[in-house]
Amino acid sequence: METMWAPWRIEYIKGEKEEGCVFCNALSLHDDLTLYKGTTTMVVMNKYPYINGHLLVAPVRHLSRLDQLTRDEMRDMLVTVEHAVRIEKEVMKPDGFNVGLNLGKVAGAGVEEHLHFHIVPRWFGDTNALTVFADIRVIPEHLTATYHSLKPLFSLLKPSL
Q: Tell me which residues are annotated as active site.
A: 116
* Chain centre distance of CA 11: 19
- Which residues have C-beta within 8 Å of that of residue 34, sequence separation ≥ 6? 26, 27, 42, 43, 44, 45
* Chain centre distance of CA 42: 10
Give dist(CA 117, CA 103) in Å, integer.
10
> What amino acid occupies position 12?
Y
Q: Are 86 and 119 in contact (CB under 8 A)?
A: no
> Residue 54's CB: how many other CB atoms inside 10 A?
20
DSSP, residue by residue, 49-93: -SSTT-EEEEESS---SGGGS-HHHHHHHHHHHHHHHHHHHHHH-
